[in-house]
Amino acid sequence: MDSEGLLLLTNDGDLALRLMHPRYEVEKEYYIVVSGHPSDEHIKMLRSGVDIGDAIASAHRIKKLWHKKNSTAFKVVLKEGKKRQIRRMFQAIGCPVRTLRRDRIGNLTLGSLKPGEWRYLSDIEVECLKRLTGVSQC
């Protein structure tokens, strides 16, 4: 409810498991706006790992996009997906998340879809996701 962006609905349990489970290291990319201006040291902490209470979580990649008066925007790529991980990571460095949008899962991007819009995946997109996760082989 507090987030938006790319969401996949499927009845293929094996594919769903492989897209979500950290063992398969499927990248998920997010656009985030946080309150405040994390320091370079805070960004290093996010890359190397920060304590989020029940685990140490890290960003696979993180890139600062812009900063304005009271906020900063980032692109963050995760290969794991702990519950509310991004929110908890940025909270741990004192910069609460204001906006969170998932833009990509693996090679599938949100594209121009607006909140509330949806579309079916093409057969090629489904096959690419299956190849990426090892559900099917080339």
How many domains does the chain divide into? Answer: 1
Q: Give the model's pLDDT for residue 136.
A: 77
Average per-residue pLDDT for the chain: 92
The torsion angle over the Cα atoms of residues 125, 114, 22 and 11, rounded to 10 degrees, is -60
Assigned domain for 91 exists: yes
Assigned domain for 138 exists: no
pLDDT in tens, 18-37: 998 888 999 999 999 999 99
Q: C-alpha angle with apex 47: 43 to 49, nearest 5 degrees?
A: 110
**Amino acid, single-letter form, for residue 10:** T
Q: Give the model's pLDDT for residue 134.
A: 87
Model confidence band, residue 1 (pLDDT cutoffs 50, 70, 90)? low
Residue 6's nearest CA partner among 125, 83, 115 is 115
CATH number for the domain harbouring residue 77: 3.30.2350.10
CB atoms within 10 A of CB 118: 7
Of the chain, the percentage scoring pLDDT greater than 90 comes to 83
